[in-house]
Amino acid sequence: MANLIMKTAMSVPHPNPDGTTSHSTKPASGQVAGYPPKGEGTNDRCANFAFFAADENTTLALAQRLATLLKPGIVIYLRGDLGAGKTTFVRGVLNALGHTGRVKSPTYTLVESYHAGGLNLLHFDLYRMHDAEEWESAGFRDEFDGRNVFLIEWPEKAQELAPPADLEIVFSILAHGRQIELHANTETGRQCIRLLKE
């Protein structure tokens, strides 16, 4: 955890030459306007969690920690620009659960399924979904059965048809590294953040 700088602020970090980090309130790139959702207590220390990942391995280390906290049925949105680290994070989760094969980005297939660590996981990449209705026609709704773990890149493409997220993870590209922010929308999500902070 040496290079994992944890913060609870909702602001954008600007690395300083001395290694410290300054913050502004400007929304991060890829961050959705209006975050966190209205009604979600920003004073709730378990609702939000943010830190700076200096390199890919730091992102993978966080994914590894989150992997141990996943429960059947949890829904996680992964937001951020292309190349921000969403698929890298999913690879970290799957590898931590024991998956040794490739983790390919399901850009054209929209979804890849995995069985690892006793969990069924569905990794969605909806970037190339043209119409939200595809979520229905592809039968994805039926997969939301309380058991499958959903990891969804570009959830906004499915609009309100995708199941609501317990946890949203927002990746922002910085000059050197990534800002990764977690937002909990449910008690399940808050529990993940609570345990990540321990």
Ligand X SMILES: Nc1ncnc2c1ncn2[C@@H]1O[C@H](COP(=O)(O)OP(=O)(O)O)[C@@H](O)[C@H]1O
Residues that bind ligand X (CB under 6 A): 53, 55-56, 58-59, 80, 82-88, 153, 171, 177-178
Tokens of 26: 């400007």
Binding residues for Mg ion, total number by CB under 5 A: 4
Q: How far is the CB of 70 from ligand X (least distance, A)?
A: 19
Q: How far is the CB of 86 from ligand X (least distance, A)?
A: 3
86 binds Mg ion (CB under 5 A): yes
Q: Which is nearer to ligand X, 73 or 196 (CB)?
A: 196
Q: Which is nearer to ligand X, 36 or 85 (CB)?
A: 85
> Using alpha carbons only, how large is the chain's radius of gyration in Å?
16
Stretch that binds Mg ion, among 8-16, 18-26, 41-49, 148-156 (CB under 5 A): 148-156
Which of ligand X, Mg ion, none sits in contact with 80, Cβ below 5 to 8 A by type?
ligand X
CA separation for the pair 147, 70 (Å, rounded): 11
Identify the residue among 87, 148, 179, 185 touching Mg ion (CB under 5 A). 87
Q: Which is nearer to Mg ion, 105 or 188 (CB)?
A: 105
CA separation for the pair 12, 195 (Å, rounded): 23
Q: Which is nearer to ligand X, 38 or 176 (CB)?
A: 176
Tokens of 112: 């890849």
Q: Footprint of Mg ion on residues 103-142 (CB under 5 A)? A: 105
> Taking a C-beta distance cutoff of 8 angstroms, is the pair 154, 125 a contact?
yes
Q: How far is the CB of 103 from Mg ion (least distance, A)?
A: 10
30 binds Mg ion (CB under 5 A): no
Q: Which is nearer to ligand X, 153 or 181 (CB)?
A: 153
CA separation for the pair 166, 5 (Å, rounded): 24
